[in-house]
Homo-oligomer: A and B are copies of this chain.
Amino acid sequence: MVTQERALATRRMILEAAGSVFAEKGYSATTVADILKKLTLTRGAVYFHFSSKEELARAVLASQADVPTVVRDLKLQELIDLGVVFACQLTRDPVLQGSVRLSLELDSVGLDRKLPFQSWVDRNLRILEQASAQGEVRPHVNLVETAELLCSCFTGVQLFSQVMTGWVDLDARFRTLLKHVLSNIAEPWVLFQLDLSPDRGVKVGAELAALAEERAADGEEDPGRTDLAC
């Protein structure tokens, strides 16, 4: 493993430890010592990557932006797949779990709680704008309003699913949300082609894993995160 790869893998290891502690204890109750206990690294190695608990929390929060997606011709399918992948990864990725807890807690003092919400709104909006440009979106739809609503509702659905079943039914609840809102957003010719089936997560996960392997074979950077199959 070359130095750059090793550094990325170490960074990822630290983020996973931090994510799992933030997910369990929240921001205030977490100490850097708690995170160190989960690692076989020295304090110095951790501080080489992150200078404080706050910097760790910022990096964990920012991980939501890394949720991968597959580019699609039908942009509303791309939007669905992004949510499906997020739902799948949330049940297994400690960094994402930590990130979600930090986003939801008021006591994460000093952290900008708007950031992860706004970054999801922006991501939704970019896809909705592309969808609209190619005629997939019904003309009355206010794109910003809908991008914000999708972010809000998905947040609520994941929270409800976490409280009720520990995320076991997150994927099903996410698809219920889409069934309720898509007919108001998508033109009928698009609705007809959208895949909302229960095995969508498995399909997209397999695609993402294959894409990651291709990139690895091409010698592209691997951030140490290969667990993409759903």
Residues of A within 8 A of B (CB): 25-26, 28-29, 101, 104-107, 113-114, 117, 145-146, 148-149, 151-157, 159-161, 163-164, 173, 176-177, 179-181, 183-185
Contact = CB atoms under 8 A, between A and B. Distances in A.
Nearest to A146: B180
Contacts of A25: 107
Contacts of A26: 105-107
Contact of A180 (B156, B163, B181): B181
A163 B157 CA distance: 17
Nearest to A26: B107
Given A107-B29, A181-B180, A173 B156 contact: no
Q: Which of A159, A163, A185 has the most CB of B within 10 A?
A: A163
A181 B184 CA distance: 8
A223 B159 CA distance: 32
A224 to B, nearest CB: 28
Nearest to A105: B105
Contacts of A146: 180
5 contacts: A25-B107, A152-B153, A152-B159, A153-B156, A155-B160
Given A106-B26, A106-B101, A184 B180 contact: yes
Contact of A149 (B113, B117, B149, B173): B173
Contacts of A117: 160, 163-164
A189 B48 CA distance: 65
Nearest to A103: B163
